[in-house]
Structure 1
């Protein structure tokens, strides 16, 4: 008979959170430069949405799943799919398939609103994590609300405001991701993320 070993293998895999945060943050900033009125929707934004915002975040989510991190696995995989879905909503209506795009008065606000509700609930989870993530998810909740209202009302000023708020949101995600990289590389807190006591 062979004895069952009680040893647990050590997790030697890298932290995937910076990849997910950077994929989200950089893509969010580029899209919101458009929302703020700096340039039109183009293939640069769509390509970022597919490959970095979409695929890279999904990879990070799968890696977090393997690490047993339910919150990060859910967040990164979901927002990766968000970017792919958003690109699909924009591109499919322009193809020879003749698929109708979301109507500005109902469908797109519903899409953005649903993501806002999801994000607001995840924000509650960040209250047990760290201040950096609280800023990311809090500002993202506001961003979805502004974008949904802007689309529902057709008010360009609200969409422009959402663009500027989205730049802040994206920058906060970039900060949170790069802070984890720098803190790990240097073995000390270079950029603080504000851990929250779980006591």
Structure 2
């Protein structure tokens, strides 16, 4: 069987979605832990890999009638686009930065949504629930750090994001490699 035939028959967008989630969260965590500045690289990553790539993965999952993955990837793609918009638009002179209360509310809502995804993921193995539990914790810590300007809390949230990103990157790589080798090479 050629590579093309295998791809056409078995191509699943889940690894792309998980990698888009994981790499972008990992970089946001590193930035929140004050190891990297918020610059054009971070904004581009959020816009294209966190945003656009996940929406594309979600649309393909929708076509495969996978409502959980479709909703997850489309929603998270839109999360990244709105987050980038909240940073980039004020820098371009369009609107103001959100207030601390508004950003805290935004992060809490996404943390709650991730909690719902955690409940859904409980039926999908061990790794996905772990990712969504850590993602919820990351978002709640970001919300707390936004509400209370404590450097230690910012860094704690950042390191929680790094852990969450690593878990999602591992899950995306594991699913991709398991698909290539057509057997469980890495546990998920």
Query: Shorter-chain TM-score: which interval?
Result: over 0.9
Q: Which residue of 2 aligns with 1:3?
A: none
Mark the runs of 5 or more structure 2 residues left unpaired by the alignment: 1-7
| Secondary structure of the corresponding residue to residue 188 of structure 1 | coil
Q: Which residue of 2 aligns with 1:156?
A: 151
- How far 1:12 sits from its partner (Å)? 2.9
Q: Which has the higher helix share?
A: 2
- Is structure 2 residue 14 aligned with structure 1 residue 12? no
Mark the runs of 5 or more structure 1 residues left unpaired by the alignment: 1-10, 194-199
- Is structure 2 residue 49 aligned with structure 1 residue 52? yes
Q: Which residue of 2 aligns with 1:177?
A: 172
- Listed as ranges, the matches of 1:61-140 within 5 Å are 61-97=58-94, 99-104=95-100, 106-140=101-135
Deviations 1:74-131 (A, max 9, x none): 000000000000000001111133x111112x01000100000100011000110011
Q: Which residue of 2 aligns with 1:197?
A: none
Looking at structure 1, the residues matched to 71 and 112 of structure 2 have their Cα atoms a distance apart, in angstroms, of 14
**Runs of 4 or more above 6 Å deviation:** none
Q: Which residue of 2 aligns with 1:27?
A: 24
Task: Give the aligned CA root-mean-square deviation in angstroms.
Answer: 1.1
TM-score by length of 2: 0.94
| Secondary structure of the corresponding residue to residue 15 of structure 1 | coil
TM-score by length of 1: 0.89
Deviations 1:17-54 (A, max 9, x none): 00000011011111111101102111111000000000
Looking at structure 2, the residues matched to 84 and 181 of structure 1 have their Cα atoms a distance apart, in angstroms, of 25
Looking at structure 2, the residues matched to 171 and 187 of structure 1 have their Cα atoms a distance apart, in angstroms, of 23
| Relative contact order, higher structure (CA 8 A, sep 6+) | 2
- How far 1:135 sits from its partner (Å)? 1.2
- How far 1:13 sits from its partner (Å)? 5.2
Looking at structure 2, the residues matched to 143 and 123 of structure 1 have their Cα atoms a distance apart, in angstroms, of 13
Q: Which has the larger radius of gyration?
A: 1
Aligned length: 181
